[in-house]
């Protein structure tokens, strides 16, 4: 009997896992993808959208033709319930009660939802860029700001893990202020739960703190680090120690949580809605359930005075998805799932854009202890990110997930 692989999510993790399983088994498997979104979104480019440098259609494409071209069924609907004991997922399609889909193997690649309630006033008084609708809203607020400029705050709250996006947006704003001819009139402030500049949620890299201090000094940016945000007022970010930082425009990166359908499956997820996994990316409880990307729970190997998360998007998600796919293929072929890649051992590969400059970040491991780590600043980083965006969208659209 042909095995049935069900994938929840159609972005980096879901698209990669579904296509990798299908290709490796030469089509001799039934793969179905269920997703609330019918478009793949290149999230790293959301930093540019608020400034009009990208449109939604520039950084996304419809996934149905991609899946259908590779013999994968696509269902544009949300999963409403997961029953790992019965090996079923209920999907909000086909009537009021939904449709139940059976699986032999399940891949949870459902991504994240914003936890805007962590900081009172964040949702009402600030913007964020972590989803496409949020980035569009941030762009509308940016246009209003340009007509009446004032102080700007870019922040990452306690528990946030997407620090790279915060830094990129910070330096892109500085670049855009200069282009608009108002840089000298606008006070720009960075607020972060990180214990030091360049921690990034991965413990930092050699010379990263000194490099970012140089960047902030060059761009005349103030920084408040290592503490929580108490609340966001209509005109100021208020820190845990009572410090008030006025703003006319504030972009704040919140913490993430797992999707509610996963969180409701109590036997499967932790209290944040993430799935605890082994190094094979199998659920710790269910051998036939996998979780990749943000949906997978990752242990933090340190404690900081103010909690910080770990970035799991982009390259780490792809590695997890390929590892999970290889193990599903092994199980279908009757072998043990022997492919492992501990999250901390995944290479750190990131290009941080800064408008017309940037930093290439490379390390042999995502988390310490490491043997090698380097940050390479320069305009080549900006050009590299531009080129990679085009390459990755082409690769994903055509289903070439085995390419680097």
Which CATH number is 165's domain given?
A: 3.50.50.60
* Confidence (pLDDT) at 236: 98
Domain limit, last residue, from 220, 255, 290: 255
> What is the distance between the terminal CA atoms of the chain, rounded to a whole angstrom?
33
Does residue 136 belong to any structural domain of this protein?
yes
Residues 60, 93, single domain; the answer is yes
* Confidence (pLDDT) at 273: 96
Residues 293, 331, single domain; the answer is yes
Residues 226, 281, single domain; the answer is no
Residues 101, 185, single domain; the answer is no
d(CA 90, CA 82): 6
* Confidence (pLDDT) at 366: 95
* Confidence (pLDDT) at 94: 64
| 112-151 core/surface letters (b: 16 or more CB in 10 A; e: else) | bbbbbebbebbeebbbbbbbbebbbebbebbeebeeeeeb
Residues 11, 78, single domain; the answer is yes
Does residue 247 belong to any structural domain of this protein?
yes
Does residue 350 belong to any structural domain of this protein?
no
Does residue 309 belong to any structural domain of this protein?
yes
Domain limit, last residue, from 343, 370, 391: 343
Residues 177, 235, single domain; the answer is yes
* Confidence (pLDDT) at 299: 84
Q: Identify the segments of the chain with pLDDT beneath 50.
A: none
> Any idea what the Cα angle at residue 259 is, between residues 86 and 31, rounded to 5°?
50
How many folded domains does the chain comprise? 2
Residues 6+ apart with CB under 8 A from 127: 50, 134, 137, 138, 141, 249, 250, 251, 252
Residues 129, 66, single domain; the answer is no
* Confidence (pLDDT) at 97: 66
Domain limit, last residue, from 311, 343, 375: 343
Q: Which domain holds residue 185?
A: 120-255
Does residue 210 belong to any structural domain of this protein?
yes
List, by residue number, the catalytic residues.
162, 350
> Any idea what the Cα angle at residue 325 is, between residues 321 and 328, rounded to 5°?
140
């Amino acid at each position: 009997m042909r095995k049935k692989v069900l994938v929840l999510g159609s972005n980096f993790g879901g698209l990669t896992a579904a296509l990798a399983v299908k290709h490796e088994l030469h089509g001799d498997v039934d793969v179905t993808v269920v997703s609330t979104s019918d478009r793949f979104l290149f999230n790293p480019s959301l930093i540019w959208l608020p400034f009009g440098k990208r449109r939604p259609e520039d950084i996304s494409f419809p996934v149905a033709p991609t899946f259908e071209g590779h013999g994968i069924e696509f269902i544009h609907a949300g999963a409403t319930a997961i029953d790992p004991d019965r090996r079923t997922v209920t999907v909000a399609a086909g009537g009021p009660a939904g449709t139940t889909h059976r699986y032999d193997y399940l891949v949870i690649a459902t991504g994240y939802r914003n936890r805007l309630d962590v900081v009172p006033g964040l949702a009402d008084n600030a913007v964020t860029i972590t989803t496409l609708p949020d980035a569009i809203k941030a762009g509308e607020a940016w246009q209003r700001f340009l007509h009446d400029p004032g102080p700007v705050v870019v922040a990452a709250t306690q528990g946030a893990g997407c620090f790279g996006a915060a830094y990129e947006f910070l330096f892109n704003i500085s670049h855009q202020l200069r282009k608009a001819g108002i840089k000298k009139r606008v006070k720009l402030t960075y607020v972060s739960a990180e214990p030091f500049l360049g921690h990034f949620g991965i413990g930092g890299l050699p010379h990263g703190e000194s490099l970012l201090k140089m960047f902030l000094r060059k761009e005349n940016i103030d920084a408040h680090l290592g503490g929580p945000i108490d609340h966001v007022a209509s005109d100021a970010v208020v820190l845990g120690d009572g410090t008030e930082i006025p703003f006319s425009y504030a972009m704040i990166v919140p913490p993430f949580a797992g999707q509610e359908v996963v969180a409701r499956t109590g036997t499967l997820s932790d209290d944040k809605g993430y799935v605890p996994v082994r190094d094979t990316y199998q659920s710790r409880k269910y051998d036939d359930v996998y979780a990749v990307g943000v949906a997978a729970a990752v242990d933090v190997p340190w404690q900081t005075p103010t909690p910080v998360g770990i970035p799991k998007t982009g390259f780490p998600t792809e590695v997890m998805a390929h590892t999970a796919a290889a193990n599903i293929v092994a199980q279908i072929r009757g072998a043990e799932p022997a492919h492992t890649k501990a999250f901390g051992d995944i290479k750190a590969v990131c290009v941080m854009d800064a408008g017309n400059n940037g930093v290439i970040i490379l390390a042999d491991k995502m988390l310490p202890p490491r043997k090698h780590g380097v940050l390479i600043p320069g305009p080549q980083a900006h050009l590299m990110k531009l080129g990679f965006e085009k390459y990755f969208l082409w690769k994903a659209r055509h289903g070439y997930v085995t390419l680097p």
